Chains A and B, each alone.
Chain A
């Protein structure tokens, strides 16, 4: 393939992607943090994002990245943890940054390592089509053993059979990497989760017990302390602690050969437990960290907040605004007027989030946990963790982001040349296993989610929800990147649960989310 033709392909893929992306503000200037760059990470840094700027705060003070295992390429492929957890992207990685990095490096950056930065490692290198998951939706390949393995290495007998219906990457049917290979693997494609605010996510407070509040089964435990895990770190909850996650990521993402030593592991975990991310400046609403501002906004407030609290109440609130910004004066000038109008919109969006009821129906591990089906509730019912807005208890549920009929699928018709991007699996619950309570015994899914770890039929398509902080810095959203903007994210819920948002409610909710 000629260089010119490759560039044409890149342009066509990127052009298509830009067409899909939102009409939000222009992408920020490059703030790519290369492994072993030697730069210090300031105690408080801010980076431009789609709605202003995101704040990154190191509660323990400035971080010297020289020799730091989070910032050094400790594996074989040249990546460091920071490669996929960029400060400028709220310690995650936006698809805009990925595309820019492709152009800047001509596709040669370690970010695009074949192991998981390619749709499948057997594909030709240097071809953007080999990296369509990353370039179109910011998705990395997650490869898991099938059938699943228990912590002790024993095989879990799954309650269902797994059939590949569609395999656009070729990975699930590949003789070396697929389900029928010598070491059977299933490949799914997921977004990198933010490495920030983890004190909240790994809390031992409300809802964390030895038994999972959603199904009564034993929670996974910290192998060192024996304490139960909140199980909210990864989208399938497969790793209980920051340490076990780092050990796995070093091998699977960095291609580290062996096991990280305790010293480097400790430094990674210590770093991860003290870093916080939240929107610090809103392009229209102004400074989100000003003195006496709402106590739920800004990274400094986040760093000093209480973890392990349920916020779905009127005593803590999920994101406390303290009643501020409800009714503001007109503003001293045009800019002040726009700021105050946006602040009022954010406050209204907060109230939509907390108090706008709608019918939540057929959501596994939500409607099945005592609320009934349907349940008349609000966004904060599920997004209830104080200050973070993810589930305060073990948080996987199926709202339809990966399971059909709700998951985003490419419209197939004679007038479109676009092909489905993601794989599709057919799940058939085995005889004797109760059917999935809402989807029956046969389920089609782009990503079985937690079921790839538990082997349970009623876990198919259940995904651990995401935190809501720093959203403006890390589009696209959902584990499979199905929502390219905050507007598309809100629209998904509107469609899925027939909420019937008004234009104003939708706009206010987007503005609220953009300020987190």
Chain B
């Protein structure tokens, strides 16, 4: 990760605006805060004197996973006009990246307070479920579901998104499984893997760039994982592209990805 000067604030006036309005994009690095409730804990973060709600604890099926105490978190999202949750303004959609370095100062746990209890039933209680994952079973999604779109009769496209500076993690197991199954089911002859390196322009004008060569590392890792899972008799075309030169605070999250095209599918 490379940090560059914050003097770009002059060039980006929105970066130094006071409290953001609904619809404003917001990107910042902060310590996460966990607040207990009578049900599941809320995850919050403070930025420039304002407390924001990031997400709730649910389960492995959640599209957004809570951050970790002991680490800073990169928050990238849009300020929502939804009612506040747990005392925080809602950022939605939101992408959270746990930063790898340990930071013992990120250690705030707040007790439950009646005024901050959830005004709705959470998707998943803090203990046993009611018989299903909070957001359904991701592995049962078909190849045509998000992440596996059929571009035409001969190709299937998948996209894996990453945390900042992140490599394959638990959340990628399911989409890798779908790539594997789709390739086998369609007698794929090849896979085109294209990986990207991104950067993030923070709201204060700072630019964070992912580590060098992570685009290539991501591409090669996906190839090796698919090979390791038994997808050996296909031709791999592996490429990578550095998109970290011009972060705009809009496409930064989407640029942290690997695209996989299954070629020759019948």
Which of A's residues lie within 8 Å of B, judged by CB? 209-219, 221, 226, 228, 312-317, 354-355, 357, 359, 361-362, 367-378, 380-381, 434-435, 437-438, 440
Residues of B within 8 A of A209 (CB): 139, 173-174, 177
Distance in angstroms from A303 CB to nearest chain B CB is 24
Contact in complex: B131, A216 (CB < 8 Å): no
Distance in angstroms from B216 CB to nearest chain A CB is 14
Contact in complex: A374, B69 (CB < 8 Å): yes
Distance in angstroms from B104 CB to nearest chain A CB is 10
The one of B43, B66, B172, B176 that contacts A210, using a Cβ cutoff of 8 Å: B176
Given A357-B126, A435-B100, are A314 and B173 also a contact pair (CB < 8 Å)?
no
Number of contacts between A and B (CB, 8 Å)? Answer: 135
Nearest chain A residue, comparing its CB with the CB of B67: A372
Nearest chain B residue, comparing its CB with the CB of A315: B131
Contact in complex: B126, A376 (CB < 8 Å): yes
Given A209-B177, A354-B127, A377-B126, are A368 and B170 also a contact pair (CB < 8 Å)?
yes
What 0/1 readout, one digit per residue, does chain B (42-58) give for beta carbons within 8 Å of chain A? 01000000000000010
How far is A209 from B181 in the complex, measured between Cα atoms in Å? 11
Q: Is B119 an interface residue (CB 8 A)?
A: no
**Contact-residue size bin, chain B (C-beta under 8 Å from the other chain):** 35 or more
Nearest chain B residue, comparing its CB with the CB of A372: B66
Distance in angstroms from A362 CB to nearest chain B CB is 7
Residues of A within 8 A of B139 (CB): 209
Contact in complex: A370, B65 (CB < 8 Å): yes
Residues of B within 8 A of A316 (CB): 131
Residues of A within 8 A of B59 (CB): 370-371
11 further A-B contacts with Cβ under 8 Å, apart from A210-B176, A218-B229, A374-B69, are A209-B174, A226-B230, A313-B132, A317-B128, A355-B128, A357-B127, A368-B169, A368-B170, A374-B34, A376-B126, A437-B71
Contact in complex: B172, A211 (CB < 8 Å): yes
Residues of A within 8 A of B234 (CB): none
Contact in complex: A314, B71 (CB < 8 Å): no
What 0/1 readout, one digit per residue, does chain B (197-239) give for beta carbons within 8 Å of chain A? 0000000000000000000000000000100111000000000
Contact in complex: B168, A314 (CB < 8 Å): no
The one of A211, A375, A378, A437 that contacts B176, using a Cβ cutoff of 8 Å: A211
Given A370-B60, A372-B65, are A215 and B128 also a contact pair (CB < 8 Å)?
no
- Central interface residue in A312, A357, A362, A378, by most chain B CB within 10 Å: A357
Residues of B within 8 A of A355 (CB): 127-128
How far is A217 from B70 in the complex, measured between Cα atoms in Å? 25
Contact in complex: B128, A314 (CB < 8 Å): yes
Between-chain CB contacts (< 8 Å), 16 pairs: A210-B230, A211-B176, A211-B225, A213-B60, A213-B170, A215-B168, A216-B170, A216-B171, A226-B230, A312-B128, A372-B65, A373-B66, A376-B41, A376-B126, A378-B127, A437-B98
Interface residues of B in 40-99 (CB under 8 A from A): 40-41, 43, 57, 59-62, 65-71, 98
Given A211-B173, A216-B171, are A373 and B128 also a contact pair (CB < 8 Å)?
no
Across the A-B interface, give the 5 residue pairs with the lowest CB-CB distance, nearest first.
A372-B66, A315-B131, A373-B68, A218-B228, A211-B173
Q: Is B36 an interface residue (CB 8 A)?
A: yes
Distance in angstroms from A46 CB to nearest chain B CB is 31
Q: Is B102 an interface residue (CB 8 A)?
A: yes
Residues of B within 8 A of A434 (CB): 100
Q: Is B151 an interface residue (CB 8 A)?
A: no
Residues of B within 8 A of A314 (CB): 128-131
Residues of A within 8 A of B171 (CB): 216, 370
Contact in complex: A313, B68 (CB < 8 Å): no
How far is A113 from B177 in the complex, measured between Cα atoms in Å? 44
Nearest chain B residue, comparing its CB with the CB of A438: B70
Contact in complex: A217, B62 (CB < 8 Å): no
